[in-house]
Structure 1
Amino acid sequence: MESFIQGNHFITQSEVNKFLLAILLCGLIGTERELRAKQAGLKTMIMIGLGSTLFTILSVKIGLNSQDRIASNIVTGIGFLGAGVIFREENRIKGLTTACVIWIVAAIGMAIGDGYYEQAIGVTVVVLLALIFFPYIEAVLERTNTAREYKISKKYEGEDIDAVEYYIKRTSGLKFQRGLQEMRDGQISGTWTAKGSPENHKKFVNQMLQDEKILEFHF
Protein backbone atom coordinates (compact mmCIF):
# COMPACT_ATOMS: atom_id res chain seq x y z
CA MET A 1 0.00 0.00 0.00
CA GLU A 2 2.81 2.39 0.92
CA SER A 3 4.58 1.75 -2.37
CA PHE A 4 1.34 2.43 -4.21
CA ILE A 5 0.83 5.72 -2.37
CA GLN A 6 4.39 6.90 -2.77
CA GLY A 7 4.91 5.62 -6.30
CA ASN A 8 4.03 7.30 -9.56
CA HIS A 9 0.42 6.24 -9.33
CA PHE A 10 -2.87 7.95 -8.67
CA ILE A 11 -2.15 9.60 -5.34
CA THR A 12 0.83 10.70 -3.25
CA GLN A 13 1.36 10.73 0.51
CA SER A 14 1.27 14.54 0.46
CA GLU A 15 -2.15 14.48 -1.19
CA VAL A 16 -3.44 11.92 1.30
CA ASN A 17 -2.33 14.22 4.11
CA LYS A 18 -4.16 17.11 2.46
CA PHE A 19 -7.40 15.13 2.23
CA LEU A 20 -7.11 14.02 5.87
CA LEU A 21 -6.49 17.59 7.02
CA ALA A 22 -9.47 18.79 4.96
CA ILE A 23 -11.68 16.15 6.59
CA LEU A 24 -10.46 17.19 10.04
CA LEU A 25 -10.79 20.97 9.68
CA CYS A 26 -14.02 21.01 7.67
CA GLY A 27 -15.40 18.25 9.89
CA LEU A 28 -14.88 20.42 12.97
CA ILE A 29 -16.83 23.25 11.38
CA GLY A 30 -19.47 20.81 10.14
CA THR A 31 -19.86 19.36 13.63
CA GLU A 32 -20.66 22.80 15.02
CA ARG A 33 -23.26 23.31 12.28
CA GLU A 34 -24.69 19.83 12.94
CA LEU A 35 -25.02 20.49 16.68
CA ARG A 36 -26.99 23.66 15.90
CA ALA A 37 -29.24 21.70 13.48
CA LYS A 38 -28.37 23.87 10.47
CA GLN A 39 -29.21 22.98 6.87
CA ALA A 40 -25.57 22.21 5.97
CA GLY A 41 -23.98 19.98 8.59
CA LEU A 42 -21.09 17.56 9.03
CA LYS A 43 -21.37 15.60 5.78
CA THR A 44 -21.96 18.68 3.65
CA MET A 45 -18.98 20.58 5.05
CA ILE A 46 -16.64 17.60 4.65
CA MET A 47 -17.77 17.10 1.04
CA ILE A 48 -17.30 20.78 0.22
CA GLY A 49 -13.85 20.81 1.83
CA LEU A 50 -12.73 17.63 0.07
CA GLY A 51 -14.10 18.83 -3.26
CA SER A 52 -12.31 22.17 -3.00
CA THR A 53 -9.08 20.44 -1.99
CA LEU A 54 -9.28 18.01 -4.92
CA PHE A 55 -10.15 20.72 -7.44
CA THR A 56 -7.18 22.77 -6.27
CA ILE A 57 -4.80 19.80 -6.50
CA LEU A 58 -6.07 19.00 -9.99
CA SER A 59 -5.79 22.64 -10.98
CA VAL A 60 -2.09 22.57 -10.13
CA LYS A 61 -1.52 19.21 -11.84
CA ILE A 62 -3.55 19.75 -15.00
CA GLY A 63 -3.18 23.47 -15.56
CA LEU A 64 0.54 23.50 -16.32
CA ASN A 65 0.33 26.83 -18.11
CA SER A 66 -2.47 28.28 -15.96
CA GLN A 67 -2.63 26.61 -12.56
CA ASP A 68 -5.54 28.70 -11.37
CA ARG A 69 -7.97 27.93 -14.21
CA ILE A 70 -9.88 25.23 -12.27
CA ALA A 71 -9.40 26.59 -8.75
CA SER A 72 -10.63 30.06 -9.72
CA ASN A 73 -14.01 28.63 -10.66
CA ILE A 74 -14.52 27.21 -7.17
CA VAL A 75 -15.20 30.74 -5.91
CA THR A 76 -17.95 31.19 -8.50
CA GLY A 77 -19.40 27.70 -8.24
CA ILE A 78 -19.62 27.63 -4.46
CA GLY A 79 -21.78 30.75 -4.57
CA PHE A 80 -24.62 28.81 -6.19
CA LEU A 81 -24.39 26.16 -3.47
CA GLY A 82 -24.47 28.78 -0.73
CA ALA A 83 -27.46 30.52 -2.28
CA GLY A 84 -29.45 27.30 -1.93
CA VAL A 85 -29.47 27.50 1.87
CA ILE A 86 -30.71 31.11 2.05
CA PHE A 87 -34.46 31.57 2.43
CA ARG A 88 -36.99 34.01 3.85
CA GLU A 89 -38.96 32.98 6.91
CA GLU A 90 -41.73 35.35 7.98
CA ASN A 91 -39.95 38.71 8.33
CA ARG A 92 -36.41 37.41 8.60
CA ILE A 93 -33.74 36.07 6.24
CA LYS A 94 -32.43 32.66 7.29
CA GLY A 95 -29.32 30.77 6.23
CA LEU A 96 -26.91 33.66 5.64
CA THR A 97 -24.43 32.41 8.23
CA THR A 98 -24.53 28.87 6.84
CA ALA A 99 -24.00 30.22 3.31
CA CYS A 100 -20.96 32.17 4.53
CA VAL A 101 -19.63 29.06 6.27
CA ILE A 102 -19.99 27.06 3.03
CA TRP A 103 -18.02 29.76 1.23
CA ILE A 104 -15.22 29.83 3.80
CA VAL A 105 -15.03 26.01 4.05
CA ALA A 106 -14.38 25.99 0.31
CA ALA A 107 -11.61 28.55 0.87
CA ILE A 108 -10.10 26.35 3.58
CA GLY A 109 -10.14 23.41 1.18
CA MET A 110 -8.39 25.50 -1.48
CA ALA A 111 -5.73 26.58 1.02
CA ILE A 112 -5.09 22.96 1.98
CA GLY A 113 -5.01 21.86 -1.65
CA ASP A 114 -2.27 24.36 -2.44
CA GLY A 115 -0.25 23.57 0.70
CA TYR A 116 -1.13 26.61 2.86
CA TYR A 117 -1.75 24.55 6.00
CA GLU A 118 -1.06 27.26 8.59
CA GLN A 119 -3.56 29.61 6.97
CA ALA A 120 -6.19 26.85 6.76
CA ILE A 121 -5.75 25.88 10.42
CA GLY A 122 -5.71 29.51 11.58
CA VAL A 123 -8.90 30.40 9.71
CA THR A 124 -10.61 27.25 11.00
CA VAL A 125 -9.85 28.26 14.59
CA VAL A 126 -11.18 31.78 14.00
CA VAL A 127 -14.36 30.45 12.33
CA LEU A 128 -15.03 28.01 15.18
CA LEU A 129 -14.54 30.71 17.80
CA ALA A 130 -16.91 33.01 15.92
CA LEU A 131 -19.57 30.32 15.48
CA ILE A 132 -19.39 29.24 19.11
CA PHE A 133 -19.23 32.58 20.91
CA PHE A 134 -21.01 35.04 18.60
CA PRO A 135 -24.50 33.54 19.23
CA TYR A 136 -24.15 34.46 22.91
CA ILE A 137 -23.20 38.02 21.98
CA GLU A 138 -26.13 38.18 19.55
CA ALA A 139 -28.48 36.94 22.28
CA VAL A 140 -27.38 39.79 24.57
CA LEU A 141 -27.85 42.33 21.77
CA GLU A 142 -31.23 40.88 20.82
CA ARG A 143 -32.53 41.42 24.35
CA THR A 144 -32.01 45.15 23.89
CA ASN A 145 -32.35 45.62 20.13
CA THR A 146 -34.80 43.15 18.62
CA ALA A 147 -36.03 44.06 15.12
CA ARG A 148 -39.57 43.27 13.95
CA GLU A 149 -41.78 44.39 11.08
CA TYR A 150 -45.31 45.72 11.60
CA LYS A 151 -48.12 46.64 9.24
CA ILE A 152 -50.95 48.86 10.45
CA SER A 153 -54.15 49.83 8.62
CA LYS A 154 -56.58 52.46 9.92
CA LYS A 155 -59.65 54.18 8.57
CA TYR A 156 -58.64 57.49 7.02
CA GLU A 157 -60.08 60.37 9.08
CA GLY A 158 -58.10 63.30 7.74
CA GLU A 159 -54.82 62.50 9.47
CA ASP A 160 -51.72 61.79 7.41
CA ILE A 161 -49.23 58.97 7.91
CA ASP A 162 -46.95 61.20 9.98
CA ALA A 163 -49.65 61.48 12.63
CA VAL A 164 -50.02 57.70 12.70
CA GLU A 165 -46.24 57.27 12.95
CA TYR A 166 -46.00 59.81 15.77
CA TYR A 167 -48.74 57.94 17.60
CA ILE A 168 -47.04 54.56 17.46
CA LYS A 169 -43.66 56.04 18.40
CA ARG A 170 -45.14 57.86 21.38
CA THR A 171 -46.91 54.78 22.72
CA SER A 172 -44.16 52.21 22.21
CA GLY A 173 -40.69 53.43 23.12
CA LEU A 174 -39.41 51.67 20.01
CA LYS A 175 -37.28 53.08 17.19
CA PHE A 176 -39.18 52.92 13.91
CA GLN A 177 -38.02 53.03 10.31
CA ARG A 178 -40.78 53.77 7.81
CA GLY A 179 -41.44 51.37 4.95
CA LEU A 180 -44.16 51.24 2.28
CA GLN A 181 -47.19 53.52 2.80
CA GLU A 182 -50.44 53.45 0.86
CA MET A 183 -53.99 54.83 0.75
CA ARG A 184 -56.76 52.56 -0.57
CA ASP A 185 -60.55 52.35 -0.21
CA GLY A 186 -60.65 54.90 2.58
CA GLN A 187 -57.92 53.16 4.55
CA ILE A 188 -54.44 54.44 5.29
CA SER A 189 -51.82 51.78 5.95
CA GLY A 190 -48.09 51.55 6.43
CA THR A 191 -45.28 49.21 7.31
CA TRP A 192 -42.54 49.90 9.82
CA THR A 193 -39.42 48.11 10.98
CA ALA A 194 -39.17 48.59 14.72
CA LYS A 195 -36.17 48.02 16.98
CA GLY A 196 -36.12 47.79 20.73
CA SER A 197 -36.39 45.44 23.69
CA PRO A 198 -38.80 42.46 23.58
CA GLU A 199 -40.69 44.07 26.48
CA ASN A 200 -41.34 47.22 24.45
CA HIS A 201 -42.42 45.14 21.46
CA LYS A 202 -44.89 43.27 23.67
CA LYS A 203 -46.15 46.53 25.14
CA PHE A 204 -46.60 48.01 21.67
CA VAL A 205 -48.49 44.96 20.34
CA ASN A 206 -50.85 44.98 23.31
CA GLN A 207 -51.57 48.68 22.81
CA MET A 208 -52.28 48.21 19.10
CA LEU A 209 -54.59 45.26 19.76
CA GLN A 210 -56.66 47.44 22.11
CA ASP A 211 -56.94 50.32 19.63
CA GLU A 212 -60.42 50.14 18.11
CA LYS A 213 -59.46 52.47 15.23
CA ILE A 214 -57.04 49.92 13.80
CA LEU A 215 -58.61 47.76 11.10
CA GLU A 216 -55.61 45.52 10.36
CA PHE A 217 -52.50 44.80 12.38
CA HIS A 218 -49.77 42.41 11.18
CA PHE A 219 -47.07 41.65 13.74
Structure 2
Amino acid sequence: MEFLPENNDLIALGVSILAGSLVGLEREYKNKSAGFRTIVLICLGATAFTIASRHGVGSDDRIAANIITGIGFIGAGVIFKDKFSVMGLTTAAVIWMVAGIGMAAGIGYYGLSITLSVLTVLVLAMFNKVEHAMERIFLTRTLLVVFHDMDVKNLEELRRAMDNHHIKYARKTISKRAGKLSVVFELTADRKNLQHFNNEMMGLVYVEEFYYNS
Protein backbone atom coordinates (compact mmCIF):
# COMPACT_ATOMS: atom_id res chain seq x y z
CA MET A 1 0.00 0.00 0.00
CA GLU A 2 1.34 3.39 -0.93
CA PHE A 3 2.22 5.52 2.03
CA LEU A 4 0.69 9.00 2.12
CA PRO A 5 2.08 11.50 4.63
CA GLU A 6 -0.22 12.57 7.42
CA ASN A 7 -0.84 16.22 8.19
CA ASN A 8 1.32 15.97 11.30
CA ASP A 9 4.16 14.61 9.20
CA LEU A 10 3.97 17.54 6.80
CA ILE A 11 3.98 19.96 9.72
CA ALA A 12 7.01 18.19 11.18
CA LEU A 13 8.87 18.48 7.88
CA GLY A 14 8.00 22.17 7.60
CA VAL A 15 9.13 22.87 11.16
CA SER A 16 12.32 20.92 10.48
CA ILE A 17 13.13 23.05 7.44
CA LEU A 18 12.40 26.24 9.39
CA ALA A 19 14.48 25.20 12.41
CA GLY A 20 17.34 23.99 10.24
CA SER A 21 17.25 27.23 8.25
CA LEU A 22 17.71 29.32 11.39
CA VAL A 23 20.92 27.51 12.26
CA GLY A 24 21.99 27.12 8.64
CA LEU A 25 21.81 30.85 7.96
CA GLU A 26 24.16 31.54 10.87
CA ARG A 27 26.60 28.91 9.62
CA GLU A 28 26.41 30.26 6.07
CA TYR A 29 27.03 33.80 7.34
CA LYS A 30 30.14 32.56 9.16
CA ASN A 31 31.23 30.79 5.94
CA LYS A 32 31.56 27.40 7.61
CA SER A 33 32.12 24.11 5.80
CA ALA A 34 28.63 22.91 6.81
CA GLY A 35 26.59 25.77 5.40
CA PHE A 36 22.92 26.54 4.85
CA ARG A 37 21.93 23.63 2.59
CA THR A 38 23.96 21.07 4.52
CA ILE A 39 22.48 22.03 7.87
CA VAL A 40 18.91 22.08 6.52
CA LEU A 41 19.34 18.66 4.89
CA ILE A 42 20.80 17.16 8.08
CA CYS A 43 17.85 18.49 10.09
CA LEU A 44 15.33 17.35 7.49
CA GLY A 45 16.95 13.93 7.22
CA ALA A 46 16.82 13.41 10.98
CA THR A 47 13.15 14.36 10.91
CA ALA A 48 12.41 12.00 8.02
CA PHE A 49 14.05 9.03 9.76
CA THR A 50 12.24 9.83 12.99
CA ILE A 51 8.91 9.95 11.15
CA ALA A 52 9.74 6.62 9.48
CA SER A 53 10.49 5.08 12.87
CA ARG A 54 7.09 6.23 14.18
CA HIS A 55 5.27 4.62 11.28
CA GLY A 56 7.25 1.40 11.42
CA VAL A 57 5.85 -1.86 12.70
CA GLY A 58 5.74 -1.62 16.46
CA SER A 59 7.17 1.92 16.25
CA ASP A 60 10.75 0.75 15.76
CA ASP A 61 12.88 3.13 17.81
CA ARG A 62 16.09 1.59 16.49
CA ILE A 63 15.89 3.77 13.39
CA ALA A 64 15.81 6.96 15.45
CA ALA A 65 18.54 5.66 17.75
CA ASN A 66 20.83 4.98 14.81
CA ILE A 67 20.53 8.60 13.70
CA ILE A 68 22.89 9.48 16.53
CA THR A 69 25.41 6.92 15.33
CA GLY A 70 25.12 7.95 11.70
CA ILE A 71 25.43 11.65 12.41
CA GLY A 72 28.69 10.91 14.20
CA PHE A 73 30.30 9.93 10.90
CA ILE A 74 29.25 13.23 9.32
CA GLY A 75 30.57 15.14 12.31
CA ALA A 76 33.88 13.29 12.16
CA GLY A 77 34.21 14.28 8.51
CA VAL A 78 34.39 17.99 9.31
CA ILE A 79 37.03 17.59 12.02
CA PHE A 80 40.62 17.68 10.85
CA LYS A 81 44.03 18.10 12.41
CA ASP A 82 46.32 20.69 10.88
CA LYS A 83 49.89 20.46 12.17
CA PHE A 84 49.29 20.49 15.94
CA SER A 85 45.80 22.02 16.10
CA VAL A 86 42.33 20.49 15.79
CA MET A 87 39.70 22.35 13.76
CA GLY A 88 36.02 21.79 13.07
CA LEU A 89 34.90 20.77 16.55
CA THR A 90 32.25 23.50 16.74
CA THR A 91 30.90 22.58 13.30
CA ALA A 92 30.71 18.93 14.35
CA ALA A 93 28.83 19.91 17.51
CA VAL A 94 26.39 22.00 15.44
CA ILE A 95 25.72 19.02 13.14
CA TRP A 96 25.07 16.84 16.18
CA MET A 97 22.74 19.47 17.67
CA VAL A 98 20.84 19.98 14.41
CA ALA A 99 20.17 16.24 14.20
CA GLY A 100 18.60 16.46 17.65
CA ILE A 101 16.50 19.41 16.52
CA GLY A 102 15.28 17.41 13.53
CA MET A 103 14.43 14.44 15.73
CA ALA A 104 12.42 16.70 18.07
CA ALA A 105 10.41 17.94 15.07
CA GLY A 106 9.88 14.37 13.85
CA ILE A 107 8.50 13.29 17.22
CA GLY A 108 6.07 16.21 17.17
CA TYR A 109 7.73 18.56 19.64
CA TYR A 110 7.54 21.54 17.30
CA GLY A 111 7.95 24.22 19.95
CA LEU A 112 10.98 22.43 21.38
CA SER A 113 12.51 22.14 17.92
CA ILE A 114 12.21 25.86 17.18
CA THR A 115 13.36 26.77 20.70
CA LEU A 116 16.46 24.59 20.39
CA SER A 117 17.34 26.14 17.03
CA VAL A 118 17.02 29.66 18.45
CA LEU A 119 19.15 28.72 21.47
CA THR A 120 21.77 27.18 19.17
CA VAL A 121 22.01 30.39 17.14
CA LEU A 122 22.26 32.45 20.33
CA VAL A 123 25.07 30.26 21.66
CA LEU A 124 26.97 30.48 18.37
CA ALA A 125 26.52 34.25 18.08
CA MET A 126 26.68 35.52 21.66
CA PHE A 127 29.18 33.14 23.18
CA ASN A 128 31.64 34.01 20.43
CA LYS A 129 31.59 37.61 21.70
CA VAL A 130 32.10 36.39 25.26
CA GLU A 131 35.15 34.40 24.14
CA HIS A 132 36.64 37.46 22.44
CA ALA A 133 36.01 39.55 25.56
CA MET A 134 37.79 36.97 27.70
CA GLU A 135 40.72 36.86 25.28
CA ARG A 136 41.42 40.53 25.98
CA ILE A 137 42.20 39.57 29.56
CA PHE A 138 43.42 36.00 29.28
CA LEU A 139 44.56 34.41 26.03
CA THR A 140 46.12 30.96 25.68
CA ARG A 141 47.60 29.78 22.41
CA THR A 142 49.81 26.92 21.25
CA LEU A 143 52.75 28.14 19.19
CA LEU A 144 55.01 26.12 16.89
CA VAL A 145 58.34 27.76 16.04
CA VAL A 146 60.76 26.41 13.43
CA PHE A 147 64.28 27.85 13.63
CA HIS A 148 66.71 28.15 10.73
CA ASP A 149 69.22 25.77 12.34
CA MET A 150 69.93 23.71 15.47
CA ASP A 151 71.55 26.51 17.48
CA VAL A 152 70.03 26.36 20.99
CA LYS A 153 71.10 29.97 21.61
CA ASN A 154 68.30 31.07 19.31
CA LEU A 155 65.82 29.34 21.61
CA GLU A 156 67.15 31.32 24.56
CA GLU A 157 66.84 34.54 22.56
CA LEU A 158 63.21 33.76 21.81
CA ARG A 159 62.53 33.09 25.49
CA ARG A 160 63.97 36.47 26.40
CA ALA A 161 61.70 38.07 23.81
CA MET A 162 58.70 36.38 25.46
CA ASP A 163 59.79 37.67 28.86
CA ASN A 164 60.15 41.20 27.48
CA HIS A 165 56.54 41.08 26.29
CA HIS A 166 55.28 39.67 29.62
CA ILE A 167 54.24 36.40 28.03
CA LYS A 168 54.06 33.31 30.20
CA TYR A 169 55.19 30.22 28.37
CA ALA A 170 55.69 26.50 28.82
CA ARG A 171 57.68 24.37 26.40
CA LYS A 172 55.60 21.38 25.33
CA THR A 173 57.84 19.60 22.82
CA ILE A 174 61.20 20.07 21.13
CA SER A 175 62.35 18.14 18.06
CA LYS A 176 64.62 18.21 15.02
CA ARG A 177 63.20 18.41 11.51
CA ALA A 178 65.55 18.33 8.52
CA GLY A 179 68.39 19.77 10.55
CA LYS A 180 66.21 22.52 12.02
CA LEU A 181 65.05 23.02 15.60
CA SER A 182 61.29 22.81 16.08
CA VAL A 183 59.69 23.82 19.40
CA VAL A 184 56.07 23.90 20.58
CA PHE A 185 55.15 26.39 23.32
CA GLU A 186 51.95 27.05 25.22
CA LEU A 187 51.65 30.83 25.63
CA THR A 188 49.51 32.82 28.05
CA ALA A 189 49.19 36.58 27.62
CA ASP A 190 46.76 39.36 26.81
CA ARG A 191 45.98 40.02 23.15
CA LYS A 192 47.95 43.27 22.96
CA ASN A 193 51.21 41.81 24.27
CA LEU A 194 50.85 38.74 22.08
CA GLN A 195 50.34 40.92 19.01
CA HIS A 196 53.49 42.89 19.80
CA PHE A 197 55.40 39.65 20.23
CA ASN A 198 54.12 38.38 16.88
CA ASN A 199 55.30 41.57 15.19
CA GLU A 200 58.75 41.10 16.67
CA MET A 201 58.91 37.45 15.59
CA MET A 202 58.24 38.49 12.00
CA GLY A 203 61.59 40.28 12.04
CA LEU A 204 63.69 37.65 13.84
CA VAL A 205 66.24 36.33 11.37
CA TYR A 206 66.72 33.04 13.22
CA VAL A 207 63.00 32.15 13.03
CA GLU A 208 62.09 30.47 9.76
CA GLU A 209 58.36 30.08 10.39
CA PHE A 210 55.80 29.93 13.17
CA TYR A 211 52.18 28.80 13.51
CA TYR A 212 49.40 29.18 16.07
CA ASN A 213 46.71 26.64 16.84
CA SER A 214 43.95 29.11 15.98
The 1:115/1:178 distance shift into structure 2, 3 A limit, reads same
SS at the partner of 2:62?
coil
TM-score, normalization: structure 2? 0.80
Partner of 1:111: 104
Cα 1:151–1:25 shift into 2, 3 Å: same
Question: CA contact under 8 A between 2:27 and 2:36: conserved in structure 1?
Answer: yes
Take 1:50 and 1:183, find their aligned partners in 2: how far apart are those partners? Answer: 50
- Measured after TM superposition, the shift of residue 131 of structure 1 is 1.7
CA distance in 2, matches of 1:186, 1:35: 44
Match of 2:28 in 1: 34
Partners of 1:168 and 1:129 lie apart in 2 by 40
Q: Indicate the SS of the match to 2:187.
A: strand
Larger radius of gyration, structure 1 or 2? 1
Q: How far has the Cα of 1:206 moved from its partner? A: 4.8
Q: 2:52 aligns with which of 53, 58, 63?
A: 58
- Among residues 173, 176, 180, which one is paired with 2:173 in the alignment? 180
CA-based RMSD: 3.1
Identical counterparts, % of pairs: 36
Distance in 2 (alpha carbons) for counterparts of 1:125 and 1:137: 18
**Gaps spanning 5+ residues in structure 1: where?**
1-7
The answer as to 2:164 corresponding to 1:171 is: yes
Question: 1:211 and 1:44, CA in 2 relative to 1: closer, same or farther beyond 3 A?
Answer: closer
Amino acid at match of 1:12: E
For 1:150, the equivalent position in structure 2 comes to 144
Secondary structure of the residue that 1:77 maps to in structure 2?
Answer: helix
Alignment: residue pair count: 207
Contact kept, 8 Å, 1:156 with 1:186, in 2: the verdict is no
> Greater relative contact order: 1 or 2 (C-alpha under 8 angstroms, separation 6 or more)?
2
In structure 2, the CA distance between the partners of 1:117 and 1:172, relative to structure 1 (3 Å rule), is same
- Structure 2 residue runs of 5 or longer lacking an equivalent are none
Alpha-carbon distance in structure 2 between the residues aligned to 1:29 and 1:165: 44
TM-score of the superposed pair, with normalisation by structure 1: 0.78
Shift of 1:203: 3.0
Which residue number in structure 2 is paired with residue 74 of structure 1?
67
